[in-house]
A and B are shown apart, each in its own frame.
Chain A
């Protein structure tokens, strides 16, 4: 009896070791590129051309790579601010527009309601890559060519199908009794929406925000096409200049530093708000 239990225990232990061996190996594969790039970005310029074997700085931590990165375009602060302004602006506008629309679709009846909702969702079928040229021309007509605000409006539009869908579902989940009670207390329309309902749909707002932020922060092609002057470039577009290098020589330290500046905010936002991100993903998957 005892031996059989021992055998079973040993087998369980062996299974566990095998499982976590595979797990740790896999985790290493997915994490290593980040770690290597991040560590390598702190190597002094004398080391930045070396292969990352090992990736960490050998002669003390240095910010050379970030200093060199700062020498491209209008300085890394300017471009980080551009990216931040566009991303945060996209978040604010997406939340405002999709909360209003979600509320409208959830609580009101009006002509062509279903057709309009389907129309918004159907834009998902059409890739924005195929309408970049007219977007470029329309923005120019509106006086918004080469403008961060114009880019922001495009990003907000791209977020709308997902965001309106999320917010409508969020409002659908709020019991109507709450609204009726608030209405009896004299709250109306926008005041009712902002004071009473908004706090109840906050999880939905968080989901919509995190997707809007990450997509706007990471977007490359539209920014490449729609921004034409150096000082307006967002980080991914700036990095094209770094990637091209100067006089045929690429400074890989600056590339690593640039990747770190672009990647770290995404990872932090995701790790902090993981729950809401996954909720959005599941909602999309189940739909």
Chain B
């Protein structure tokens, strides 16, 4: 097998690829879709953000008026603050659950693949379905948690988990961890399995304890994978919408309005389309900045030996 591979020159040197425009024909449908439903809308969003754009009636050019408004929009800044708070807490919670799970299911043992599959199941259902399921479980009268806690004597009466900010927030965090931890677990698992077993074995023989092996061997070698899992968790959390819309409708005293939720309200409830577009551009700028920072993080990971 190897011999014949060496004997015949690699096919890519033969330059048998057709050149010219025919290839463009094959990618034309994809480019048309991306053009019409992605690039055009992005440009259009920028254009709209420079207008006062009501649902009916003529849009009026107002230059950077919408952007000026963003900076002094207290409710948007609150939404931004809440989203940042949520992103940090949920990311820490997901990692705190997913990392031990990844280590738990790393070695091939009986039943391990069943555990992996079951832990992963919530990932494949929709966030909307998961939110609906949990809003029922968290319901004060017909749900699971409040009556269960009362019956166990933990609380004297049935407490309404979704009526108070802290408990509602906690419920949503638990729901999201239940929904997402399996995904992060699998990503981290690929990183764990990529660490050569000889390395861990050598460290063990050199007398490194379990914690030392984890701290000085596993963690540094997992840097790239952890950066990737972090990226996916952070960007996903910043775009959170379904859980707040479905589970708490913005939460007690409207304290659970995320950025996407706020843009949704501005654009499709109040129909300030121009302002909504400006907010979208702001969100986009934040995400691109985070993406660039994350790519830098990945690169830093590469440079380490």
Contact = CB atoms under 8 A, between A and B. Distances in A.
Interface of A: 19-20, 22-23, 26-27, 29-31, 33-34, 36-37, 48-53, 96-98, 100-101, 103-105, 107-111, 113, 116, 119-120, 123, 125-127, 129-135, 137-138, 153-154, 156-157, 160, 164, 175-177, 180, 214, 217-221, 225, 236, 239-240, 243, 252, 255-256, 258-259, 262-263, 266-267, 269-271, 274, 277-278, 281-282, 285-286
Interface of B is mostly: helix
A180 B42 contact: no
A130 B124 contact: no
Contact of B267 (A125, A132, A267): A132
A27 B104 CA distance: 12
B124 A129 contact: no
A48 B19 CA distance: 66
Residue from B44, B114, B119, B142 with most neighbouring chain A CB atoms (10 Å)? B142
B273 A221 contact: no
B163 interface: no
Contacts of A105: 23, 26-27
Contacts of A214: 124
Given A129-B239, A157-B34, A239-B132, A262 B141 contact: no
Contacts of B112: 23
Residue from A104, A108, A132, A133 with most neighbouring chain B CB atoms (10 Å)? A133
Contacts of A29: 178
A153 B137 contact: no
Contacts of B246: 240, 243
A259 B135 CA distance: 11
Interface in B219-272: 225, 228, 235, 239, 241-242, 246, 260, 263-264, 267-268
B142 A252 contact: yes
B30 A164 contact: yes
B26 to A, nearest CB: 3
Nearest to B18: A108
Contact of A51 (B40, B144, B241): B144
Contacts of B187: 281, 285
Nearest first, the 5 closest Cβ-Cβ pairs linking A and B are A108-B23, A218-B126, A104-B26, A51-B147, A134-B44
Contacts of B170: none
Contacts of A130: 45, 263, 280-281, 283-284, 287
B117 A274 contact: yes
Given A51-B143, A125-B288, A116 B27 contact: yes
A97 B133 CA distance: 35
A53 B137 CA distance: 11
A27 B118 contact: yes
B26 A103 contact: yes
B186 interface: yes
A116 B134 CA distance: 42
Given A27-B118, A53-B148, A267-B125, A129 B48 contact: no
Residue from A120, A134, A266 with most neighbouring chain B CB atoms (10 Å)? A134
B115 interface: yes
Contact of B144 (A26, A52, A154, A177): A52
Interface of A is mostly: helix
A217 B44 CA distance: 28
Contacts of A126: 38, 42, 284, 287-288
B11 A120 contact: no
A256 B135 CA distance: 10
Contacts of B33: 97, 153, 156-157, 160
Interface string B15-31: 01111111111110111
Given A134-B277, A180-B16, A255-B136, A51 B128 contact: no
B121 A34 contact: yes
Contacts of A266: 124-126, 129
Interface string B40-54: 111011001000000
Given A27-B115, A130-B263, A101 B44 contact: no
A110 B41 contact: no
Contact of A160 (B17, B30, B139): B30
Nearest to A139: B37
A110 B268 contact: no
A79 B88 CA distance: 37
A68 to B, nearest CB: 14
B74 interface: no
A131 B136 contact: no
B128 A30 contact: no
Residue from A126, A130, A153, A278 with most neighbouring chain B CB atoms (10 Å)? A130
A20 B291 contact: no
Nearest to B36: A138
Given A220-B126, A267-B124, A177 B119 contact: no
A30 B182 contact: yes
A113 B23 contact: yes
Contacts of B273: 133
Residue from A48, A123, A126 with most neighbouring chain B CB atoms (10 Å)? A126
Residue from A22, A100, A243 with most neighbouring chain B CB atoms (10 Å)? A243
B41 A135 contact: yes
B19 A110 contact: yes
Contacts of A258: 132
